[in-house]
């Protein structure tokens, strides 16, 4: 028999507060209360109960928002507050509580999406969906064809092998890269594996959203046409091609070292 009520992490996600995963972290931190009592993991919300996040009542769903933000270097992509760190939520200072969809490391710049739609965030971030993210990368020494081909094939890191990607030269020490993964500091780690150091890194596209026309440190809302295309892309993705490619790439990667040797 189904239990009454709605799981608290789902309640928070559907209310636009955060993703379900982030909701679990907020619960562990004791930042959620229900009817004046600190909430617990797995708790279910019944009709008439009041849920508070950091002392603020979580009410009816707010207007759905999706922002395209051009993050400058030096800004951290987290909702947490760290002494001496500039937070992207505080930088945007939007009147509705928003959360970054994924992250860009502090040293990187460029496009990051922010939303109050927890379910939308989950679908975009789901690893198996293999959504494209495009970057412009500048490194400390000349880019060679051998280096780019090695990046395309996949690089051992963090206990796995990166999925095949696109990489093309744009200058003597720069290249364009399109990833379908979001491993921690992925591009920097991939370059370091071949003794390259990233000097500058800018994300210029996430799926169908581009940073063009957005001044560094500012943002704009997604257009109706962009949202329709996003929904189409999310509906079309099931993750199988990415998982199949990654399994094959992991096998190939175990058989070779740097540059396939």
Provide the annotated active-site residues.
Answer: 105
Cα 103 from Cα 118, distance rounded (Å): 15
Task: Please choose, from the candidates 153, 148, 116, 173, the residue with its C-alpha nearest in 3D space to the C-alpha of residue 250.
Answer: 153
All residues at 6 or more sequence positions from 260 whose CB lies less than 8 Å from its CB, including other chains: 150, 153
**Which of 131, 132, 95 is CA-nearest to residue 114?**
95
Longest CA–CA separation in the chain, Å = 65
* Helix or strand (DSSP H, E) at 191: helix 186-193
Which positions ≥6 away from 117 have C-beta within 8 Å?
Answer: 16, 64, 65, 66
Task: Give exposure, 234-260, as e/b (b: 16+ Cβ within 10 Å).
Answer: eeebeeeebeeebeebbeebeeeeeee
Tokens of 89: 């939520």
Three-state DSSP class for 9? helix
User: Cα angle vertex 146, ends 142, 150, to 5°?
Assistant: 115
Q: How far apart are CA 27 and CA 18, in angstroms?
A: 12
């Amino acid at each position: 028999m189904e239990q009454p009520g709605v799981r608290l992490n789902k309640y928070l996600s559907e209310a636009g507060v955060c993703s379900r995963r982030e909701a679990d972290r907020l619960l562990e931190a004791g930042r959620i209360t229900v009817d004046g009592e600190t909430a617990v993991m797995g708790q279910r919300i019944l009709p008439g109960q009041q849920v508070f996040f950091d002392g603020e009542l979580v009410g009816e769903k707010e207007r759905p928002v999706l922002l395209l933000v051009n993050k400058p270097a030096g800004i951290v992509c987290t909702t947490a507050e760290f002494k001496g760190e500039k937070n992207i939520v505080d930088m945007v200072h939007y009147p509705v509580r928003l959360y970054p969809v994924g992250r860009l490391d502090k040293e990187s710049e460029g496009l990051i999406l922010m939303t109050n739609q927890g379910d939308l965030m989950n679908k975009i971030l789901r690893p198996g969906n293999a959504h494209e993210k495009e970057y412009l990368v500048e490194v400390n020494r000349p880019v060679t064809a051998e280096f780019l081909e090695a990046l395309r094939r996949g690089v051992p890191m963090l206990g796995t092998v990166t999925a095949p990607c696109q990489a093309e030269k744009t200058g003597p020490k720069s290249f364009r890269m399109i990833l379908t993964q979001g491993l921690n500091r992925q591009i920097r780690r991939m370059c370091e594996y071949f003794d390259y150091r990233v000097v500058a890194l800018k994300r210029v596209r996430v799926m169908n959203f581009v940073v063009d026309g957005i001044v560094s440190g500012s943002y704009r809302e997604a257009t109706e046409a962009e949202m329709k295309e996003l929904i189409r892309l999310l509906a079309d993705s099931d993750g199988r091609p990415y998982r199949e490619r990654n399994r094959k790439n992991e096998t190939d990667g175990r058989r070779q070292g740097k540059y396939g040797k």
